[in-house]
Chains A and B, each alone.
Chain A
């Protein structure tokens, strides 16, 4: 993680890929979102979606996993180079979460993130807010998920 002052709008980061298995889809749904179309192939076929598909909250959870793991990979690289590692703060929220198309069992999603806004925080002078759009595209090239997340990023301390 860079300090807030080092971030740039437009910076794009490839986060990686994830394949959704039927077992994982059913396990998440059974615990958190037990709609029939997330639990059963036949119910999925009869639904608006046309097949067993992942809960939107499962897709969202996988996406944040991709974001966090990529951030940690880069932190490890910086640590290995002897550079300072900046710890991000929490997220106050997100907007425009869209479940654009179903994520079916067996689908592989590619995740990409792009910084879309950077804002100061009057109430927290040591922090800025970074806004990033995360998009997931399936193996057919169709966008299936997108949202704009926010994250508190520390400002460079004055020496």
Chain B
């Protein structure tokens, strides 16, 4: 994440001083310029697409149960995404679809910056 990318996303979607201006961010609770939590989500989605979803039978998601923004994402941070399957279940209404409930962790250096729990839909293998 570069400072330019952080400011560009924030300018379009989350134009708060802590995501746009080093000086304004310094006096806030997070003590310095940091990425919008929604920017971290968007980067997570990209990493998940490239690393997993585009090579799978991913069909979409009905939503996200919980997102925790645990630590600021700073300019220069490299994000890594870890996923863990919590449970799987068949769709009651559609036998060709299954739901996978996942815990997603976004890590920068050795800090967990964000966790997210969501359900994802995948096509089932034809019998």
B13/A34 in contact, CB under 8 A? no
Given A65-B14, A92-B68: A99 and B49 within 8 A (CB)? no
Interface of B is mostly: mixed
Q: Which residues of A contact B59 (CB under 8 A)?
A: 47-48
Q: How far is the CB of A112 from chain B (nearest CB, A)?
A: 18
Q: Which of A48, A57, A69 contacts B38 (CB 8 A)?
A: A57
Q: How far is the CB of B112 from chain A (nearest CB, A)?
A: 13
Q: How far is the CB of B98 from chain A (nearest CB, A)?
A: 13
Q: Which of B37, B63, B97 contacts A98 (CB 8 A)?
A: B63
Across the interface, name the chain A residue whose C-beta is closest to B50: A34
A91/B46 in contact, CB under 8 A? no
A31/B46 in contact, CB under 8 A? yes
Q: List 30 A–B pairs whose Cβ atoms lie within 8 Å, in order of A's numbering.
A: A28-B42, A31-B42, A31-B46, A32-B42, A33-B49, A34-B54, A35-B58, A47-B60, A48-B60, A57-B38, A57-B41, A57-B45, A60-B41, A61-B13, A61-B14, A61-B38, A64-B36, A65-B13, A68-B14, A72-B15, A90-B18, A91-B37, A91-B69, A93-B68, A95-B65, A95-B66, A97-B67, A98-B63, A99-B62, A99-B63
Chain A interface (Cβ within 8 Å of chain B)?
28, 31-35, 37, 47-49, 55-57, 60-62, 64-65, 68-69, 72, 87-100, 127, 152
Chain B interface (Cβ within 8 Å of chain A)?
12-18, 28-30, 36-38, 41-43, 45-46, 49, 53-54, 58-70, 72, 97, 121
